Amino acid sequence: AQSVTQLDSQVPVFEEAPVELRCNYSSSVSVYLFWYVQYPNQGLQLLLKYLSGSTLVKGINGFEAEFNKSQTSFHLRKPSVHISDTAEYFCAVTRSGGGSYIPTFGRGTSLIVHP
């Protein structure tokens, strides 16, 4: 089985500042990794995903994430945040080699962007 840890439940930041949301995973097999975003009163939507290849993945809205296999991490970054980035962010993992296709989600990190 795999698990996902998002250490920060809340990350406050000022507008135009950089931000990093941390995600660590645990799995005995190869995985696919995802970041989802949930804006207020909405469902989750995909920001980006890592399947294979380049460890730096770029997603929508200027976000990017880097897969680090040795540290089992998949941290999400943005060089300059906007007020509209205020949302809940979820890291998720799925086995890549078949078996269960159901993703395991982290607890979520609330990003709060202040003007």
Partner 1 sequence: ETGVTQTPRHLVMGMTNKKSLKCEQHLGHNAMYWYKQSAKKPLELMFVYNFKEQTENNSVPSRFSPECPNSSHLFLHLHTLQPEDSALYLCASSSRDRVSEKLFFGSGTQLSVL
**Contact status: 102 vs partner 1 (CB under 8 A):** yes
What is the Cα–Cα distance from 74 to 98, expressed in whole angstroms? 21
What number of residues does the chain have? 115
**Contact status: 60 vs partner 1 (CB under 8 A):** no
What is the Cα–Cα distance from 9 to 30, expressed in whole angstroms? 26
Q: Which of the 8 DSSP states describes residue 88?
A: E
**Contact status: 75 vs partner 1 (CB under 8 A):** no
**Location of structure tokens 């890592």:** 50
Q: CB atoms < 10 A from the CB of 44, how many?
A: 18
Q: Name which position in 8, 11, 24, 49 contacts partner 1 (CB under 8 A).
A: 49
Task: Rank residues 98 and 115 by Cβ distance to partner 1 and give the closer one.
Answer: 98
Q: Name which position in 26, 45, 61, 68 contacts partner 1 (CB under 8 A).
A: 45
- What residues line the site for partner 1 (CB under 8 A)? 32, 34, 36, 41-46, 49, 51, 90, 94-96, 98, 101-103, 105-108
